[in-house]
Amino acid sequence: MEKFEHEYNAEQIQVLDGLEHVRKRPGMYIGSVSIRGLHHLVYEIVDNCVDEALAGYCTHIKIEIEPGNIICVEDDGRGIPVDIHAKTKISAAETVYTQLNAGGKFGGDSGYKVSGGLHGVGASVVNALSTWAEVTIQRDGGIFQMKFERGKTTQPLTRIGDSDKTGTKVRFLADDTIFETLEYDYETLESRFREMAFLTKGLSISVEDKRGEEVKKADFCFEGGLNSFVEFLNKNKEKINQQPIYIEKDDGEVPVEIAFQYTTAYSENIYSFVNNINTVEGGTHLEGFKRALTKTFNDYAKSHNILKEKDGNLQGEDIREGITAVISVKVREPQFEGQTKTKLGNSNVTGIVQSLVNEALSNFLEENPNIAKAILEKCVSASRAREAARKARELVRRKNALESTTLPGKLADCSSKVPEECEVYIVEGDSAGGSAKQGRDRKFQAILPLWGKMLNVEKSRADKIYNNDKLQPVILAVGAGIGNDFDITKIRYGKVIIMADADVDGAHIRTLLLTFFFRYMRPLIENGNVYLAQPPLYKLSKRGMKDIYCYTDDELTENLNAIGREGVNIQRYKGLGEMNPEQLWDTTMNPETRILIQVKMEDAMKADEIFTVLMGDEIGPRREFIEANAKYVKNLDI
């Protein structure tokens, strides 16, 4: 019998209790140990407070970032139960913070009809991933406190005073041996808690950052609920119906709240939530809304002779052009599907939402014929543009078939045909394109030079895009279509890299391309396929020394401390064309040495707002944005 070098028997089998496993595999519970996972800790504690609000017991939640990145979350709910738990023989409060599957959200007769968060694992996971945590509870006439270190109890629940109030306060410091950073981003938290306040009508949420000399604070409370949410999302857009259309029904089975408004924009923005969880992949509630929207508008258009009998029906995408909508449903036992478990699967919800919207929207259109006519005029215009786009698309396909190639003429393709290992550089200008073509690794790097300013798609429909000589090569090179036809499985390159000059024009080109990808190839961003190349800003030359490239002003300063200024020639690169092929490879294209910034989308709503401000028709919001952010600009060449 073969003798193994290492014994493998019962002694090698590790048995971890729940919280030890959380510390060993944190990503399984909070997604990652990056800043995203760090923020997730705060969301989990706040989710518990919101559940109290959904149950009708909490009216105010206060979140503070204290100096040293300590988080404090306080609510005025009922307070976690403090009596002894029959099974664990310790207080219910300590059980919630030390047992992985303990909480008030399980079973039909629990304290909560519906809940968000991780359904009972939130508090204990946060405790396990914190250097220390302190929980103070007010209820039953007393003030109770317990303390923990890395999930272990250091002070069991102890009565420390009397109180006639109720509520729970949690303070914790995330564990720096687990997380990549402990530095919270105030704007990210502020955006998340604003969203929570919109989704929980009448709930007051305050967030305060006490870390710097200047305290940042925001207070949110929206009696208008989703109406207020849609108005906020559309604040920088021109509206067709000035007041959002609002639909709400709570029959005890599946409470539904919907608000939507039409704008003159060409993109659709629909956000859906289940129990305050953002269902980014949609699901049955979104399906019900879309079906009702399509049927009701078509029925109205036919019955009021806006569409003639010979005309075909409007498509769903025509009717959703320019819409901003928020759909929120509360489901007792939600079934989540999809790649990231953010797609609602409960089949009964489709019919509930669809019938509600059918009835409410039909009544609204009959009572508001002027608004109905204005919206449908836009829908019919969108339908004509879609047909024009289809013809333009077919023309492009036929033209390419006749030319026996489906790739743009200026594209220098790579030899590999495996998308995962291929990358395309979209390069500003023929000069830089020439250097990039000579300096690249032809096996896996393709080069697509662009020249001149391209179309601002924020102000254009798809038919204009197919006919645009600047964007058509990008569409053909990526190879996956655009808009509703975009298919991520057909992309020809795993990395789509924007390589532009480090000046104002280069920044504008990057923004135009990112606007195009966001509006017409959004899965490309969501899938992590879009990158920004980082060419160097400076080259330091000194006799007898190898050239040093600096990518930031800080790097320039550090190197000049290190080598001294005497005899050093500093070259400020203003364009990619200033570098020869070898330099471009060494600094910007060599996978071993280059710096690439991956374009990520943490918050689709925030991204939509920024693109609307920067690239839309309204001048006022753009001026405000520039004035507010001018102080952060670096390396500006005018």
- The order of strands in the sheet holding 167-174 is 152-162, 142-149, 130-139, 167-174, 70-75, 60-66, 204-209, 216-220
Any bridge partners for residue 173, and if so which? 70, 132
Taking CA 387 as the corner, what is the angle to CA 381 and CA 390, rounded to the nearest 5 degrees? 140
Amino acid type, 119: H
> Which of the following is catalytic: 257, 501, 586, 608?
501
Residues near 15 by beta carbon (within 8 Å), at least 6 away in sequence: none
> Which of the following is catalytic: 185, 441, 505, 555?
505
Largest CA distance in the chain: 87
Q: Is the dihedral of CA 413, 416, 417, 420 positive or negative?
A: negative
Catalytic, 487? Answer no
Dihedral in degrees, nearest 10, Cα atoms 45, 51, 57, 62: 30
CA pair distance 24, 35, nearest whole angstrom = 18
Any bridge partners for residue 143, and if so which? 138, 161
Any bridge partners for residue 207, and if so which? 63, 218
Inter-residue contact 176 to 182 (CB < 8 Å): yes
In angstroms, what CA-CA distances link 287 with 119, 136, 344, 346, 523?
A: 25, 43, 10, 11, 19
Sequential DSSP letters for 457-482: GGG--HHHHHT-TTTHHHHHHH-S-S
Catalytic, 501? Answer yes
> Which of the following is catalytic: 140, 503, 526, 547?
503
Residues near 149 by beta carbon (within 8 Å), at least 6 away in sequence: 131, 132
Pull the structure tokens for residue 316: 């769903």
CA pair distance 626, 614, nearest whole angstrom = 9
Taking CA 484 as the corner, what is the angle to CA 481 and CA 485, rounded to the nearest 5 degrees? 35
CA pair distance 430, 410, nearest whole angstrom = 9
Closest CA to 428 of 403, 411, 404, 453: 453
Catalytic, 503? Answer yes
Catalytic, 162? Answer no
CA pair distance 296, 379, nearest whole angstrom = 13
In angstroms, what CA-CA distances link 327 with 54, 71, 282, 558?
A: 17, 31, 10, 51
**Three-class DSSP labels, 131-198:** EEEEEEEEECCEEEEEEEECCEEEEEEEEEEECCCCEEEEEEEECCCCCCCCCCCHHHHHHHHHHHHH
Element (H, E) at 371: helix 369-402
CA pair distance 427, 7, nearest whole angstrom = 57
Residues near 575 by beta carbon (within 8 Å), at least 6 away in sequence: 429, 431, 432, 501, 503, 506
Residues near 225 by beta carbon (within 8 Å), at least 6 away in sequence: 198, 199, 201, 202, 248, 257, 259
CA pair distance 285, 273, nearest whole angstrom = 9
Name the residues annotated as catalytic: 428, 501, 503, 505
